[in-house]
Structure 1
Amino acid sequence: MDNSHAIVIGAGLGGLAAAMRLGAKGYRVTVLDRLDVPGGRGSAITVNGHRFDLGPTIVTVPQLFRELWADCGRDFDADVDLRSLDPFYEIRWPDGSHFTARPDENAMRAEVARLSPEDVAGYDKFLKDSEARYWFGFENLGRRSMHKLWDLIKVLPTFAMLRADRSVAAHAARRFKDERLRMAFSFHPLFIGGDPFRVTSMYILVSHLEKEFGVHYAMGGVAAIAEAMANVVRRQGGTVRMGAEVAEILSVPEDGTRRVTGVRLDSGEVLDAGLVVSNADTGHTYKHLLKGKKRWTPRKLDRSRWSMGLYVWYFGTRGTREMWPDVGHHTILNGPRYQGLVDDIFVNGRLADDMSLYIHRPSVTDPSAAPEGGDTFYALSPVPHLGHDNPVDWKREALRYKEKVAAQLETVIPGFRDHLAAETVLTPAEFSTRYLSPHGTGFSIEPRILQSAWFRPHNVSEEARGLYLVGAGTHPGAGLPGVVSSAEVLGKLVPDAPSAAVTAPEPLAAE
């Protein structure tokens, strides 16, 4: 077996970042993915000239990408055109009030004061709380492995001091009196698959990320970042094989455990490797790809709590570039309920009649997302995953739910259906088949406190030597910063390749 050969399962951003780091360590890397383009959930499709970014839309910690590129001897900004946004996003409520998040701290304080003058002091305290959790939760725990129990025990006093047992929503309620501000500073876990009323308050660190590093958009969408990453892998001499689905991670017994030897594709082809990194969903990896599990058994995975599902309607319009001037790049449209809706999604598993929507309109920043004069949108609604009792039958409900989403959208972009030029929809059913996501979830295992850090599936697998995990389902979690950081953790765990692995990179077919 060639121990200098590393296989990465999945060309999502976590897998591509892992491949880049392994290539920088001298490994000959092969990336395998069942889709036709790299990016995983961060890929894109084009329909009638409209480019639909299928998943993540926001880059919040660009230095993670710059450091990744630099560690590979390259310049991120030479490969990717990243634009800072101002405003970051707008939040709207049914009563007509709104909150605009911006990079300027004084502007943010003015927005808080406009809605609730008595909450300005609480906002200042909240920012300090957020920064403290950033340094501990992101820069400390999030960028190193947490696979040893002692690593957890050592930080328990800090967890206690920072009240990690308190939820994000509960912490926001301690700092803000106005219900709208409580929502505005507690909804962020939904963008990584977490219930704001139950995930640990460590995740208020997102407010510091936004304040310190801004909110950015990659021209060409996140798919452009994925393609740039794949190109780095190729320039390192690695291979990115699309349309190649892994059926099994192969392993042999060794010293009372198992050691990986490579993978078998669904075509029957066997690829040998001394190191395998899975960027497939952790649940899929342990339930379907690896045999003989001892800890992450199907029963344990079935008892885990999973993130919500997503209903996403992607649509393009013609002749609308000058219409709806008050609708920017990112808009959050709230329904009449907050906690009640979240409970229906995460706890009750019920598809509610009301909803809250995230509306993405990239064409206001990036004209290439749509034909000239047109617009590209997606409207995302959090919904229950398919693992609840009596799961939603999307074959029956999809059209009816689409009409409900359209009614909500009409309050923001009136008349949009008269201009439709392209559309497609992804429901949890499509997430299950396209991404092999357990229960059709959008973000893998939910980031509750007892499913985070040491309690989360580890980056270095205890099930087989030579097997590592990256991506949303492992430490530190979902979101672009999380999956890219999981590859950084991998880079600290894996030794440099044997010297024989260092070969001259193959030239790209077209540059």
Structure 2
Amino acid sequence: MTAQTSPAPQAAQTPAPVPPGRTACVIGAGFGGLALAIRLQSAGIATTVVEGRDKPGGRAYHWQKDGFTFDAGPTVITDPNCLKELWALSGHDISEDVDLMPVMPFYRLAWPDGTQFDYSNDEEQLFREIAQLNPADVAGYQRFLEYSEAVYQEGYVKLGHVPFLDFKSMIKAAPALAKQQAWRSVYSVVSSYVDNEKLREALSFHTLLVGGNPMKTSSIYALIHKLEIDGGVWWAKGGTNRLIAGMVTHLERLGGTVRLNDPVVQIHTLGKQVTEVETRSGWKQRFDAIASNADIMHSYKDLLAGAKRGADYAKRLSRKSFSPSLFVVHFGIEGSWPGIPHHMILFGPRYKGLLEDIYDHGVLPQDFSIYLHHPTVTDPSMAPEGMSTFYALVPVAHMGKLAVDWEEMGPMLEKSILDELERRLIPGLHDRIVTKFHYAPSDFATDLNAHMGSAFSLEPVLTQSAYFRGHNRDDVLDNFYLVGAGTHPGAGIPGVVGSAKATAGLMLEDLA
């Protein structure tokens, strides 16, 4: 069991035939938007992607500074088959445009007492790592893996690409979800299988990668573990931005259009139909169907401000809970660091209490856990020769709960994070820095129109999942659709690419 290979993508389904001349617009060139556009264009629908920023990518934006390449994120690529399928739809191969590289170990987890745990799908190595924490937990982990397999089949294989448009669809899925105790949290279920607290943290932190609190997020999200064990963890050579670039290249090869640096300001409607997209430059165009990969609140509150549906649904959304934000320090330093793996989690002294501060209390704690991304250990092209690219990410409460001036707070938090990395991992870090900058919740709000600066849209709790999330097709506007983190199934690359599959299925049926 290794991460060196990944099974071939499933045979692509034959798209429903559509009449010639059908057109669609996708607002936002994030992973979900581009995946949807590729599916539509592959089926013969003339598709235009309209992106407000100067580069595609959405949350997978990137910067090039002083010879270093900095990905905004996401940096963990799992289930590569969901990506390969986008090329296979038209008889192409992802390798034409993207070079996927395996990452091993998947993550190194480190605690303040010096304990380290290398997490991977090398079964023998993983069992040794578990045994070092608690030999009795090896058997418990094996039972947890069986549970993860079961929720993976129910939550991802069966339901991950199926739109939940009415409550009956949720009721139909309920028995299977109940059988897997979906009302319990990931942490609660993990704790029922393993006793060691560090191992409980190691097997439950994954929900943070999609904006969920391990103490509250439905146990269905334990499927992430199975997703990684089966498909491995991967890196796109040149950065996640090269995966985005490959998607754009492939879309344009198929005849699709990407319009950059011209944000949409209004979606026009007539009765129960969306009719036209208007951008800041004054560009207007009519489409048969429109899908938004923009922030879900922005889509309804701002882009559909001229329609009653926009105001009505924005009011409903305002009562929902949104995921936290992130504070990210990007830095390039002198030297190469082969001893620091590609992905690392540096846990702080608290776990449950820290999560309560972020999700419940809305305070900025003095301690924190850090996700450290070190791409140059896999791909030296991300930095000048003899240097290294990093980013350090800490979850923080969104701006609706944590009302601080990030212009003032940002530099102080940046220094605290770098101080902690210097103390625990990289001696003399401050003196080695060649370039650095940070990205705060206020930047998520400004650059991505993210509601309250949330980094992952709606919080992935059970009462905001499937039918209770934004619907892939709007309930009132017949030809308006959603794709991305705010709709089913949720955040993360497999989630938003899965949402594109669900939404594309609806659009192809409606446009046929």
Structure 1 length normalisation: TM-score? 0.94
CA distance in 2, matches of 1:329, 1:468: 36
Matched position secondary structure for 2:104: coil
After TM superposition, the structure 1 = structure 2 runs for residues 48-447 of structure 1, keeping only pairs within 5 Å, are 48-253=66-271, 258-290=272-304, 291-293=307-309, 297-318=313-334, 320-321=335-336, 324-388=337-401, 391-410=403-422, 411-447=424-460
Going from structure 1 to structure 2, the CA distance change for 1:238 and 1:325 (only over 3 Å counts) comes to closer
Q: Which runs of 5+ in 2 are unaligned?
A: 1-19
In the aligned structure 1, how far is the partner of 2:408 from the partner of 2:247?
39
Q: How big is the shift at 1:423?
A: 1.3
How far did residue 299 of structure 1 move? 2.4
Give the root-mean-square deviation of aligned CA atoms.
1.5
Q: CA deviation at 1:108?
A: 0.9
Q: Pick from 31, 35, 41: which aligns with 1:13?
A: 31
Q: State how 1:8-47 maps to structure 2 within 5 Å.
A: 8-47=26-65
- Say whether 1:449 aligns with 2:467: no
* SS of 2:47 mapped into structure 1: strand
Shift of 1:172: 1.1
1:487 corresponds in structure 2 to 500
Q: Distance in 2 between matches of 1:285 and 1:239?
A: 21
How much has 1:496 moved relative to structure 2? 6.6
Find the aligned partners of 1:192 and 1:495 in 2 and give their Cα distance.
Answer: 28
Q: Distance in 2 between matches of 1:294 and 1:440?
A: 20
Secondary structure (helix, strand or coil) at the match of 2:270 reads strand
Range that drifts further, 295-304 or 352-361: 295-304
Give 1:3 deviation, angstroms.
6.5
Flag the 1:488–1:478 CA change in 2: closer, same or farther, 3 A.
same
Structure 1 Cα separation of the partners of residues 96 and 146 of structure 2: 35
- The one-letter code sitting in structure 1 at the alignment partner of 2:407 is K
Stretch moving more, 393-402 or 241-250: 393-402
Tell me, in whole angstroms, the C-alpha distance in 2 between the residues paired with 1:200 and 1:495. Answer: 31
SS at 1:447's partner residue? coil
Secondary structure in structure 1 of the residue aligned to 2:74: coil
Residue segments in structure 1 that go unaligned for 5+ positions in a row: 500-511
Does the 8 Å CA contact 2:300/2:310 hold for their aligned counterparts? no
What's the secondary structure of 1:380's corresponding residue? strand
Kept in 2: contact 1:345–1:384 (CA 8 A): yes
What SS does the aligned partner of 2:204 have?
coil
Distance 2:503 2:511 in 1: 17
TM-score (norm 2): 0.93
* 1:176 shift after superposition: 1.2
Cα distance in 2 for partners of 1:438, 1:121 equals 43
Which whole-Å deviations, capped at 9, do the CAs of 1:285-313 have from their partners, x for residues lacking one? 11111121279523211111111110000
What do the CA deviations read for 1:87-127 (whole angstroms, capped 9, x no partner)?
11100001110110122112111111111111111101100
1:3·1:498 contact (CA, 8 Å) conserved in 2? no
Distance 2:91 2:108 in 1: 38
Q: Is the contact made by 2:98 and 2:243 (CA closer than 8 Å) also made in structure 1?
A: yes
- 1:26 and 1:496 in contact (8 A); partners too: no
Matched letter for residue 394 of structure 1: W
Give 3-state SS (helix, strand or coil) of 2:308's partner: coil
Deviation per CA, 1:233-259: give whole Å up to 9, x if none. 111112101001001111101xxxx10
Deviation at 1:497, TM superposition (A): 9.0
**Where does structure 1 differ by over 6 angstroms across 4 or more consecutive aligned residues?**
496-499
Question: Quick check: 2:406–2:442 contact (8 Å CA) kept in 1?
Answer: yes
Secondary structure at 1:381's aligned position in 2? strand
> Could you tell me how far apart the structure 2 residues matched to 1:496 and 1:167 are?
36
Residue 439 (structure 1) shift: 0.6
TM-aligned CA deviation for residue 392 of structure 1: 2.4
Identity of aligned residues (%): 42
2:130 match: secondary structure: helix
Alpha carbons of structure 1 residues 75 and 207: separation in structure 2 relative to 1, 3 Å? same
* 270-279 vs 390-399, which moves further: 390-399
**Per the alignment, do residues 358 and 498 of structure 1 end up closer, same or farther by CA in structure 2, a change over 3 Å counting?**
closer
CA distance in 2, matches of 1:189, 1:243: 33
Taking structure 1 as reference, are residues 498 and 197 closer, same or farther at Cα in structure 2, changes over 3 Å only?
closer
Deviations 1:139-170 (A, max 9, x none): 11111111122111111111111000000111
Residue of structure 2 in register with 1:504 after alignment:
none
* Structure 1 counterpart of 2:284, one-letter code: V
Q: Using a 3 Å threshold, how does the CA distance of structure 1 residues 26 and 112 change in structure 2: closer, same or farther?
A: same
Amino acid aligned to 1:431: F
CA distance in 1: counterparts of 2:311 and 2:470, whole angstroms: 10
Q: Is the 8 A contact 1:146 1:453 kept in 2?
A: yes
Amino acid corresponding to residue 259 of structure 1 in structure 2: Q
